Amino acid sequence: MADFRVEPLAEDALLLRFGDGIDVATNARVHEAASALRDAGLPGITDVAPAYATLLLRFDPSKWDKGALLETVAKTLDPGLRRDDEPKNAVALPETARVVEIPVCYGGDCGPDIDAVAEHAGLSRDEVITRHAAAEYTVAMLGFAPGFPYLLGLDASLHVPRRANPRTRVAAGSVAIGGAQTGIYPRELPGGWHLIGRTPRVLFDPAREPPCLLAPGDRVRFRAIAADKFAQLAERDA
């Protein structure tokens, strides 16, 4: 029995649905399925794009009819081929999952909303930084803008509803909290999340290979850096 449902989106696109909400186990299964499909190297599959609970497949409709595609996908993702001793809700991360460390200058001009987050959480500013930098996050998906990572794993005490008034300009590299998620703005964009810091790392550069610093399924750790270190690293990347 497949552990996903299929929703046709368009003549050349379908969604594989592994769940409906935002949870780590479902998202891990999405990434596992994405790797399996990518590794299978099926010709005529143009996009394999994970979201929280679904996987988008785009294909060339001149090469696949839906029936043949679904059969191939089902075979590739057959959970019967997975080990039985794997606990159902274990975080089945591929062993190849990378851990990417992101240096962040928290607070000050880099993170103008850190006090608002601290106040909402009933924590000191330092405790917000400690908790944000202590967790290991998973890149659940990229979206909103090229290279924007939606990160799962935010400490529950740091969940803060989005700002009532979104900003029209958020600086590139801003590290932010929106609800139960944290993310990083790859370039200057409008945004409604709370800005708690900024990284000098460049998240998206179309001239680079790969263009994005982070890929779906990657693990992320934040490391606090001082403002002068931020300036120094930012110069290096510029």
Contact residues for another protein, defined by CB under 8 A: 7-13, 15, 20-22, 34, 46-56, 58, 61-62, 65-66, 141-148, 150, 187, 206-207, 210-212, 215-216
Shortest distance (Å) from residue 35 CB to another protein:
11
Count the Cβ atoms, other than its own, within 10 Å of residue 206. Answer: 9
Are 163 and 194 in contact by the 8 Å Cβ rule? The answer is: yes
For the bound state, the minimum distance from the C-beta of residue 51 to another protein, rounded and expressed in Å, comes to: 5
Looking at residue 218, its amino acid is: D
Contacts 24+ apart (CB under 8 A), 37-40: 37/73, 37/76, 37/77, 40/76
Rounded to a whole number of angstroms, the minimum distance from the CB of residue 78 to another protein is 22
Query: Alpha helix locations (H) across the chain?
Result: 24-40, 66-76, 114-121, 125-134, 227-237
Nearer to another protein, 23 or 115 (CB): 23
Beta bridge partners of 82: none
The DSSP output letter for 160 is B
Q: Any idea how long the chain is?
A: 238
Based on CB atoms, which residue is closest to another protein, 121 or 201? Answer: 201
Helix (H) or strand (E) holding 197: strand 194-198
Beta carbon nearer to another protein, 2 or 13: 13
Nearer to another protein, 11 or 95 (CB): 11
Distinct helix (H) and strand (E) counts, the chain? 5, 13
Q: Which is nearer to another protein, 204 or 230 (CB)?
A: 204
Residue 58 or 131: the one with the smaller Cβ distance to another protein is: 58
* Residue in the structure block whose two tokens are 């596992």: 32
Query: Rounded to the nearest whole angstrom, what is the least distance from the CB of residue 49 to another protein in the complex?
Result: 4
We find the least distance from the C-beta atom of residue 8 to another protein, in angstroms, to be 6
96's tokens = 């190849």
Q: How far is the CB of 17 from another protein (least distance, A)?
A: 8
